[in-house]
Chain A
C-alpha cells in the first residue's frame, strides 16, 4: 500500500508559534465531529433503521399476511410472553450459551498459546505457523465449510479413515446425525476458523512490547515465567480482553457454520442455535414478529454477557 503523502501548504511559519495552543484548542472542538460524521451516517443508514424496525416489529403480530401488505397488529409483549413460556427457547438458549462460551474460551486459550509459541521459535518455524494461520483465516466461510463437510463425510471422509487407522471403528459413521457429535464438529470448525485472528492479534500485541524491557528484567534475574506473568501479561491484557469479548459475541451469533452443517445432514430441529432459530422463525415460517423478538432477546443477552468487558474497556477511556 502506498503511503505517499503530499506535503500540505505550510501556512503557519515559526512566527505564529505562540498562537499555536489557542489555535489547536479551537480546532479540537470541531474537527473530531467532522471526523466521526461519515461513520455515524453510514451506521444510521444501514443499521439504525433495521434495528428500529426490528424493535417495533417485535411488538407486532407480523406473519406471512403482513408480507403481502396487511397492516401488522400491535400485540404488546405478546411475542415475548409466548417465547419465554416455550421450553424450546430455553433449550436453544442454553445450547447457544454453552457452545459460545466453550468456543470462545478454547479459541482465546489456543490463540494465546500459539502467539507465545510464535514468539519463542525461530523465524522459519514462526513464518510457517503464521502462513498456515493466514491460510486458514483467509478461507471464505462457505469454502471452508464445504471442505470440512468433505473431510467428515461418512463414506469417504479423511476423518473416518484416520480414526480407522488408529483402530477406532468409525467406518461409515455419520458424525452429524447425533446432536452431541454435531456440536463437537461444529466447535472444532469454529475454533479452527477463529484461532488465526486471535493468535495473530495477540502476537502483534507481543511484538509491541519493547525487547529492552524484557532484557532488563532478565538481567535483574526475572525468570521466563515471571517475565510472562509480570510484564507480558499486563501489557497484552487489553488485546486479550478485546479478542475474548469479540469471540464471545461472534460465537453467540454463529450461523453459517451451523446452517451449512445442518444442510449437510444434521437433524435441524435438535441442533438449532439462536441464529438458525431466528432464521427458521423468520425465513422458514415467515413469523417476523417472533423472529424479531428473539433477535431483541439475543441482543439483550449479548449486551448482558459483555457488559463487564464493555465497562472495563470504557474505564480505560477515562
Chain B
C-alpha cells in the first residue's frame, strides 16, 4: 500500500513538472508583458515580473484600435457559438438517436468536409462573399465560421448523446413520460457537459481564427483581434521589436479566452453520466 502511495507521489511530481513546462510559454507572455523593454533587452532573462508595470498595456491600447477589434471579435464569436450549438445539436441528435435513409452519407459528408483544406477555399470564399456583399461583414464571417466548426461539433456532440444510454430514456418512458419529455428531462441535462465542451470548442475556433478573417475582413475597421495583433507585431518589427508591448498585446487577445476557460473548466468534467447509470 505504501509503495502504491510512493508511485502515486512520483507520478504526481512528474505531472506537475510536465504542467510547468507546458504552461511556460503562457507564463512567459504574462511575465514579459509587465516588464519594461530595458529589462527584456538584457541577455539574462528575468523570470519574475517584480517591479513591473502596466505601461506596456497602456501603450498597446493607446491608439484605440484594440477596442474596435474587441467588439468585432466578441460579436462574431458569440454569434458563431450560438449558431453552432443549435445546428450541431440537432444534427448530432439526428445521427445518434435516429436511423434514417441517407444517415451514412450524411456522416461520410461530415467526415469529408472536416478534411477540406481551408487554405484551398479562401479565395473562393472571398469571391462568394464579395458577390453577395458580405465582405467586411460580421454576418458573412459568422456564416463561414459556423460552417467550418459545425462538422466537428456534430462529431463531438454525437459522442455525448451516444454516451447517454438510451435505456435511461426508455426507463423514463416506461414510467409514463413521452419520448420528447423523456429526452428533455433525462437526456438533455446529462448532455450539458457535451454542450459546454462543444460551445468552448466553437468559441476557441472563432476567437482564434486567423486565415479566413485575413481574407474576408480587409478593412481596418472590421479587423478581428488576431488580425489586430498581427498588424501590431508587424508595426513593431519595423523598428526593433518592443517585446514587452507585443506581449501585452498578446495578453489582451488571450486573456478573455483564458478567463472563459477557467469559468467553464469545472463544468467540463463529466462524471455525471457514469453516476447516473450507477444509481
Contacts and interface: CB of A to CB of B under 8 A. Distances in A.
A135 B32 CA distance: 17
Nearest to A259: B211
Interface string B258-269: 101110110111
B112 interface: yes
Interface in B234-272: 243, 246-247, 249-251, 253-254, 257-258, 260-262, 264-265, 267-271
A192 B25 contact: yes
Contacts of B230: 142, 260
B58 interface: no
A31 B189 contact: no
Contacts of A142: 208, 210, 226, 229-230, 250, 253
A138 B261 contact: yes
Contacts of B111: 306, 310, 313-314
A296 B128 CA distance: 19
B98 interface: yes
A196 B22 CA distance: 9
Contact of B32 (A43, A118, A150): A150
A208 B273 contact: yes
B15 A125 contact: yes
Interface stretch (A76-84, A85-93, A176-184, A275-283): A275-283
Given A3-B189, A136-B22, A148-B25, A141 B115 contact: no
B107 to A, nearest CB: 6
Contacts of B14: 117
A114 B270 CA distance: 18
Contacts of B176: 14
Nearest to A122: B12
Contact of B254 (A129, A133, A143, A252): A143
B45 interface: yes
A5 interface: yes
B94 A36 contact: yes
Interface in B203-229: 204, 207-208, 210-211, 225-226, 229
A99 interface: no
B106 interface: yes
A303 B196 CA distance: 30
Nearest to B232: A146
Contact of A299 (B23, B117, B144): B117
A256 interface: yes
Contact of A12 (B25, B104, B178, B269): B178
Contacts of A42: 83, 87, 143, 146-147, 150
A70 interface: no
A310 B108 CA distance: 8
Interface residues of A, number: 107
Given A1-B192, A146-B247, A246 B152 contact: yes
Interface in B134-190: 143-144, 146-148, 150-152, 154-155, 159, 163, 176, 178-181, 184-185, 188-189
A64 interface: no
Contacts of B262: 131, 134
A10 interface: yes
Given A8-B180, A31-B98, A294 B261 contact: no
Given A120-B8, A138-B254, A253-B118, A146 B179 contact: no
19 contacts: A1-B267, A34-B90, A35-B93, A36-B94, A42-B87, A46-B125, A53-B128, A135-B26, A136-B23, A137-B204, A140-B208, A142-B208, A143-B254, A146-B29, A207-B269, A252-B117, A253-B119, A299-B115, A314-B107
Given A42-B146, A43-B113, A288-B123, 6 more contacts: A39-B110, A53-B124, A140-B229, A142-B253, A146-B229, A208-B270
Interface of A: 1, 3, 5, 7-8, 10-12, 14, 24, 28-29, 31-36, 38-40, 42-43, 45-47, 49-51, 53-54, 57, 114, 117-118, 120-122, 124-126, 128-144, 146-148, 150-151, 153, 156, 158, 161, 192, 195-196, 200, 204, 207-208, 210-212, 239, 242, 246, 249, 252-253, 255-256, 260, 274-275, 278-279, 282-283, 288, 291-292, 294-296, 298-299, 302-303, 306, 310, 313-314, 317
Interface of B: 8, 11-16, 18-20, 22-23, 25-26, 28-29, 32, 40-45, 83, 86-88, 90-91, 93-95, 98-100, 103-104, 106-121, 123-125, 127-128, 143-144, 146-148, 150-152, 154-155, 159, 163, 176, 178-181, 184-185, 188-189, 192, 195-197, 199, 204, 207-208, 210-211, 225-226, 229-230, 233, 243, 246-247, 249-251, 253-254, 257-258, 260-262, 264-265, 267-271, 273-274, 277-278
